Chains A and B, each alone.
Chain A
Amino acid sequence: MKDVLTENAVKAETSKISARKAQVYYGTNHAIKDVDVEILDKTVTAFIGPSGCGKSTFLRCLNRMNDTIPSCRVEGSITLDGEDIYDKRVDPVQLRAKVGMVFQKPNPFPKSIYDNVAYGPKIHGLTRSKAELDEIVEKSLRRAALWNEVKDRLQTPGTGLSGGQQQRLCIARAVATSPEVLLMDEPCSALDPIATAQVEELIDELRTNFSVVIVTHSMQQAARVSQRTAFFHLGNLVEYGETGQIFTNPKDPRTESYITGRIG
């Protein structure tokens, strides 16, 4: 495993998602305070921080998955390509088609491998023929580095795969809807090192088309796959910058303590 997957520096500098003074409340609990962040296009951004610091909560704000929690309230502005995603005119369903999500635990649907991947394209009507759908399924499974393992058993249940394969299936499923941003909430926490390495390579590959935001507890992972890193602590965004700078030369003493293992 290479220590740094991407030697090339961040080239794309266009902002994809930007948050201004974002606040999140769960009932009376103020979970996210004054977060300002610019997430760049075609870049992997890592969110790190101790448990309960709000990084997953903030990630879920980016495609309004928090809408499913009744007590959750978001203030401030979060824009995607300059458009406020919490605007009343924005349909959260369409937003989530553009901002896909991969979850901590692999959650394949109780359907065949094929139907799992074809789910998004079918719902959004992305294909006009069966052949086109087949093509999308194959392409997505190839991108998720799963095609060779499952091409002979596309009609078997997705739940019958191993944990690592299931997670790659979920990534293929998210990729199939061709989102613009892919949010990943600790996608490797349930995987063994080999599957983790496969998923990490995949994330780096996805960067050529998408902007990827990944929440991780592993600082090595953040250092390996991301170009930008944001450090959250107690609901605040403490520091945000280029990954190399965060890990070698953090400006904030809290970041340094966390990275060197003194807090968290």
Chain B
Amino acid sequence: MSIGILSSILLALAAAGYFIGRARAVSAAGGDTRKLHSLAGFYGQSVALFTAVPAFLLMAAWLFIQPILIESRVSGQLQQTLAPDASLSLVMADVRRLANAIDSIGTADEVAALSPEALTARLGEQGVAMGGDMSVAQVAAANEYRLLSNQSRTGMTVATIALALAGLAFALRRIRIDFRARNVTEQFVMVLMIAASLIAVLTTAGIVVSLLFETIHFFKLYPASDFFLSTTWSPKFGGGSDLGIWPLLWGTLYVSLIALIVAVPVGLMSAIYLAEYASPRVRTWVKPAIEILAGIPTIVYGLFALITVGPLLRDYFALPLGLGNSSSSVMTAGLVMGIMVIPFVSSLSDDIINAVPQSLRDGSLGLGATPSETVRQVVLPAALPGIVGAILLAASRAIGETMIVVMGAGAAAKLSLNPFEAMTTVTVKIVSQLTGDTEFASPETLVAFALGLTLFVITLALNILALWIVRRYREQYE
């Protein structure tokens, strides 16, 4: 049974559960709903939740685990028959494709009877492209795969519907006049919310773990000391590359620094103007206009850097000053990225400055301070933790930015202080190391994971720092 049909059955059961539960509660109270502990709807809701949620969770878990189990079983059988140089993952991909296509060709026996060439041809007619002709063992494995999948699917259907019915019966039996359906429903929903927040946490953990494994793999092939201490970056796909992170890290930090030098003063001053001086009319127009900047895709910023800012800086600054003749430069990328992160600084700071209690402003103005003295000496210090948080958020954004750097700063890994020289960043090199038809086996591709992890650690540290600053200084005003 397909997942769609199964889901609708579960939902129908839940809906039925709602109405039965509700009716049961009303009849338990003898038609007088005032006698019930909770509103009648809560009894229905509690039944519906107990019917649907465990069943859906079981379905999700089953769908997650089933392929892993089947895969390991089938590939275990297949491995013995495989040539030593063949890649198991490629063969398994073919097996999966064949298993999915068998039903469109004929019965399992018919497929087994076909010669490998004929099979490939038949599959081609169905629009299924294979990596190569299938061996007899592979066809058998595909059959096995299909059989196991079907069995498992049937098992899942039976199990989930059984669980749904069990939940329905359990919840219905609990309905009495004094059953606290409202509390139970609310607790159940709370558990669901906990689960939802766990998903975000677990995803982060999953990303870190997967990065970590590939990174460990990389450090087995390439010494960590070279990666962290070498100052040259010259990957050669033939081998013998120098993969030092410093030129990339330097480029990242340099570009981000320029971006922040642009964004922080501009963003902060516009935030102060909007929060403290602008009339409500101006505010309603200017604030969304600044926020539009955040909505521009970064690739468009990249184009702006490539065709406008880059040549402009080259012709009017770099060439006359004798600092270089490249239109891609750290300065180009930094300036454009700075413009991109202005709304992060200004919009967040504006909200934070607005949250400073008016009573503090009144207190300062009442002592004869001017509005600007009030802003500098009272409002900004009170808002400082939040503003620092906003700036660090902008910094994380700048460090992770890729597109603007590719188009604005170029791709040359260099350690230089000259802001008019082309440089590159960690993110750009991650992209360039992973694009192409290379396998994830050489240090030249695996280095991308080590770079990604390093970047992740840096931005994580920045975020933790931001959180710490905000917590540490938050309760200075009520």
Contacts and interface: CB of A to CB of B under 8 A. Distances in A.
A98 B370 CA distance: 14
Interface stretch (B12-20, B39-47, B377-385): B377-385
B366 A96 contact: yes
Contacts of A109: 360, 363-364, 377-378, 381-382
Contacts of A68: 361-362, 365
A174 B369 CA distance: 12
A63 interface: yes
Contact of A70 (B279, B361, B377): B279
B86 interface: no
A157 B476 contact: yes
A26 interface: no
Nearest to A94: B368
Given A68-B362, A107-B357, A157-B476, A97 B279 contact: no
Contacts of A97: 367-368
Interface in A83-104: 93-98, 100-103
Contact of A120 (B368, B381, B382): B368
Contacts of A96: 365-368
A142 interface: no
Nearest to B477: A110
Interface residues of A, number: 30
A98 B369 CA distance: 12
A123 B368 contact: yes
Contacts of A21: none
Given A110-B382, A110-B476, A111-B381, A177 B363 contact: no
B133 interface: no
Contacts of B366: 63, 65, 96, 100-103, 174
Interface string A97-131: 11011110101111100000001100110000000
Nearest to B475: A159
Interface string B170-199: 000000000000000000000000000000
> Which of B366, B373, B381, B382 has the most CB atoms of chain A within a 10 A radius of its CB?
B366
Q: Give the dominant DSSP class at B's interface.
A: helix
A224 interface: no
B478 interface: yes
A123 to B, nearest CB: 5
B8 interface: no
A228 interface: no
A215 to B, nearest CB: 14
B359 interface: yes
Contacts of A170: 363
Nearest to B373: A123
Interface in A127-147: none
A90 to B, nearest CB: 13
A101 to B, nearest CB: 4
Interface in A59-89: 63, 65, 68, 70
A42 interface: no
Interface string B344-362: 0000000000000101111
Contact of A107 (B359, B369, B370, B377): B359
Contacts of A103: 359, 362-363, 366
Contacts of B367: 96-97, 100-101, 119-120, 123, 173-174, 177
A97 B373 CA distance: 13
Contacts of B477: 110, 159
A110 B359 contact: no
Contacts of A100: 366-368
A238 B56 CA distance: 72
Contacts of A63: 366
Contacts of B382: 109-110
A65 B368 contact: no
A41 B360 CA distance: 28
A139 to B, nearest CB: 16
A119 B377 contact: yes
Max chain B CB contacts within 10 Å: which of A102, A107, A123, A170? A107
A159 B364 CA distance: 15
B399 to A, nearest CB: 31
A94 B369 CA distance: 8
Contacts of A105: 359
A26 B360 CA distance: 23
Q: Which 7 A-B pairs have the closest CB atoms?
A: A97-B368, A101-B366, A110-B476, A107-B359, A96-B368, A107-B363, A120-B367
Given A68-B362, A120-B367, A159-B476, 19 more contacts: A65-B362, A65-B365, A68-B361, A68-B365, A93-B370, A94-B368, A96-B366, A100-B368, A101-B366, A102-B366, A107-B357, A107-B362, A109-B377, A109-B378, A109-B382, A110-B382, A119-B377, A123-B367, A170-B363
11 contacts: A96-B366, A98-B368, A100-B368, A101-B362, A101-B366, A107-B363, A110-B381, A111-B381, A119-B377, A159-B478, A177-B367
Interface of B: 279-280, 357, 359-370, 373, 377-378, 381-382, 475-478
